[in-house]
């Protein structure tokens, strides 16, 4: 017997030119870099109509690597 593990959360970001509201955050707009959301009916619909795409979350360490505290590189 094979068991399937269903992912309950997914990292998505808005497609270019789209503004997407997040019902779990009082309908605030999703930031351009995206965020992790529940993989529920609402977000599956957003995926189906092309409002968002699934992405790998950016590593926080990579975003700050090579930047000095004074802003110069």
- Domain definitions of the chain by residue range: 13-23+33-58
Rg, C-alpha atoms of the chain: 16
The pLDDT tens digits for 14-71 are 999 999 999 999 999 999 999 999 999 999 999 999 999 999 987 764 555 555 555 5
In this structure, what are the phi and psi dihedrals at residue 38, rounded to the nearest 5 degrees? -65, 145
Largest alpha-carbon pair distance within the chain? Answer: 58
pLDDT of residue 58: 77
Interatomic CA distance for residues 60 and 72, integer angstroms: 19
């Amino acid at each position: 017997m094979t068991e399937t593990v269903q992912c309950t959360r997914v990292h998505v970001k808005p497609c270019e030119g789209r503004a997407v509201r997040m019902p779990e955050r009082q309908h605030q707009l999703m930031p351009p870099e995206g965020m992790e959301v529940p993989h529920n009916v609402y977000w599956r619909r957003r995926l189906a109509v092309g409002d968002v795409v699934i992405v790998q979350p950016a590593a926080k360490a990579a975003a700050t690597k090579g930047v000095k505290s004074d802003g110069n590189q």
